[in-house]
Amino acid sequence: MGSIDMDKERLTAEMAFKVDSSSVVIKIRRKLPDFLQSVKLKYVKLGYGYACNHANVLFVVVVLPLFLVSAVQLTGLRFDNIRDLDLWMTRRPTLQLDDTSAGRYGAAVLTFVLILHWVKRPRQIYLVDFTCYKPDDERKMSGEAFLKLTEENGAFEEDTIQFQKRISARSGLGDQTYLPQGITSKPPNLCMKEARSEAEFVMFGALDSLFYKTGVRPGDVGILIVNCSLFNPTPSLSSMIVNHYKMRSDIKSFNLGGMGCSASLISIDLAKDLLRAKPNAYAVVVSTENITLNWYFGNDRSMLLCNCIFRMGGAAVLLSNRASDRARSKYQLVHTVRTHKGADDNNYNCVYQREDDKGTVGVSLARELMAVAGDALKTNITTLGPLVLPLFEQLRFFVTLVRRKVLKAKVKPYIPDFRLAFEHFCIHAGGRAVLDEVQKNLRLSEWHMEPSRMTLHRFGNTSSSSLWYELAYTEAKGRVARGDRIWQIAFGSGFKCNSAVWRALRTTPARECLAASASNPWADCIDRYPVKVQEFTAALFRAEEKEMGFVLRVRLASFFAGAATASAVGLFFLHRDYKVAHESISRQMEGLYESFEGRISALEKVKEAEAPQHVEATE
């Protein structure tokens, strides 16, 4: 197998010849850039700026010196009075209290500073519990049923149907994902009523389970944040929840729209800031995406990706800043880091809702999406690193970075090992290709990637709520122990990359998650996971290979037949007349070369058109 890297376009072309036949397979892939090979010092500085918060500065600059001065003054310890080192080593000096005014003043200031710090300290944010919505079984949509629905719809041309088949084969989705009723109806019923119905089923289903699990009444909630990118009716989704649960009139409600698949972590960050400003409060975050009014019935391939990977789902999270809730809470929020690259036009336009050439609205995913996602991820983890990495890893990374960027030394970049900072990883299940590249660049094992891959297989890309399905999977496997650190990271349109770091406050046994009252979406199927996604897609791959292989074999057979004919004709003319033979062979070989070049170019165009399947919608 040969491989040619095209760095400018971040493409990889691979050609493989089969041993048992004359067929050749050409694959052109768009790669996620090696984002850890190049970082900017300003993002490292930003990370250290987050680490050097006011509490740390206050302790180092004020509290620690005052403590030492007060201790010396109150004890009367004077090291300059020690005349004999042997006496100091063999005889314990007698400390006499010297209750001077300086000592009393220092002790008073120290006490005041400590009290001030205690009163003004940031409130800890606790994740009491969370739930993920699991639709009814009648909403399940297998891969075969999805393709049948696509064929029977009548809105798609034959080549776009084949394109969706290939995307579905490589997407990593299983046979038990869910679609709303408005799409599966015959004919599809895409209207505001069906979209509202989908939103109500998802949000109310998740919230009912959350209130039941936690024992918190809807009237106790002081902050409500709902995020849904593509469906923003009037009244808003947050108002829909307030009306349904008859929440109190002074509730602080927010409705975030158009913020992509990373919006759940944006909501968590917003809830954190609000909870730190409002004592003894509960905050509920609802993350979902609405598919009914955003299903694309057109033939623009950049917009068809969303049909193939996005599925129905949602999650609800209960946060608290009450110290009394710490004992029953599952996690404590440690850090949130948000990265927004929207100042650059390529970043801003790579995920864009627009109309196609026939006026059909859809979400377009640009070819540059992988490169944009890699750049945003690089910035985010560079900022996050100083907050979470062990000191030794930070020193090695920082020294190498300074040598490369400041001293211009030609040394190999040091890639920090984030496995030393986290026990569990919840990476947004946007697509299999993105997960593959993130795993490669962060050097994660299959065990670390298992929650993301299995969530993609079982529930599909549920947009911003996918992170919570992944955390629910980790809990259902009984992997979360007290003190474990969890890293949630997601990408979103704009372009954004956001991270949240949690610390487990208690061990979550698997039996607790699998109980009927736990409402864990994996309760009825966790024993069947993990599965090998390759086995699931094997049948579709074989069907596609059979179809594409036949075309390649016909083309190659035609080429080799032409080459054999040219050789025979050339030998014949060579036997008669060398000059005539030479001219004839030259003309025919030039024609064959042009024909072969045209066929290869056609194949590359086909593969280039299929290239978004390897992007697989970071959204």
* Interstrand relation of 424-427 and 485-492 (parallel, antiparallel or unpaired): parallel
Residues 186, 150: contact at Cβ < 8 Å? no
> Helix 158-170 vs helix 533-576: angle between axes, to the nearest 10 degrees?
120
Residues 581, 568: contact at Cβ < 8 Å? no
Q: Which residues does the annotation mark as catalytic?
A: 261, 340, 424, 428, 457, 461
Distance CA 338, CA 209 (A): 29
Which residue is associated with the tokens 């709303």?
180
> Helix 158-170 vs helix 301-309: angle between axes, to the nearest 10 degrees?
50
Q: What is the DSSP string of 477-489?
A: TT---TT-EEEEE
Backbone angles phi, psi at 286, to 5 degrees: -115, 125
Number of H helices, E strands in the chain: 22, 16
User: How far lies 60's CA from each of 63, 67, 219, 390, in Å?
Assistant: 6, 11, 43, 20
Distance CA 123, CA 283 (A): 14
Please name which of 259, 275, 276 lies closest in space to residue 318, comparing C-alpha atoms: 275
Distance CA 335, CA 502 (A): 7
Instruction: Show the beta-strand stretches assigned E in 204-273.
Output: 221-227, 252-256
Distance CA 37, CA 455 (A): 29
Cα 277 to its chain centre, rounded Å, is: 29
Cα 221 to its chain centre, rounded Å, is: 29
Distance CA 304, CA 180 (A): 17
Q: What is the 3-state secondary structure (H, E, C) of 44-78?
A: HHHHHHHHCCHHHHHHHHHHHHHHHHHHHHHHCCC
Distance CA 525, CA 473 (A): 10
> Which DSSP category does 326 fall into?
T
Which residue is associated with the tokens 């800031």?
273
Q: Extract the tokens encoding 109.
A: 């200031």
Distance CA 266, CA 270 (A): 6
Residues 235, 219: contact at Cβ < 8 Å? no
3-state secondary structure of 187: coil
> Which DSSP category does 92 fall into?
P
Q: Extract the tokens encoding 75.
A: 């004890």
Distance CA 414, CA 326 (A): 38
User: Measured at the alpha carbon of residue 508, what is the angle toward residues 503 and 514, in degrees to the nearest 5?
Assistant: 140
Residues across the chain: 619
